[in-house]
Amino acid sequence: MTMDANGTTIDLLHPDAQDLAGINRVIEAAIMTWDLPERVKRLALPSYRYSDIDGQILEFVVARDPRSRIVGVASWEPAEEKDSPQGQQALLLHSLFVDSAFHRQGIGRALVDALLAQTAAAGNDGLLVKAQRDAVDFFSACGFLPLPVHDESRQYAHRLWKPVR
In the predicted model, what is the mean pLDDT of residues 26-39? 91
**H helix or E strand, kind and range, residue 4:** none
Q: Where does the pLDDT of residue 5 fall: very low under 50, low under 70, confident under 90, or very high at 90 and above? A: very low
Q: Which domain holds residue 12?
A: 2-163
Orientation angle between helical segments 38-48 and 17-31, nearest 10 degrees: 150
Query: What is this structure's pTM?
Result: 0.86
CATH number of the domain residue 29 falls in: 3.40.630.30
Residues 51-79 pLDDT 10s: 989 888 899 999 888 888 899 999 999 99
How many folded domains does the chain comprise? 1
Question: How many residues are given for the chain?
Answer: 165
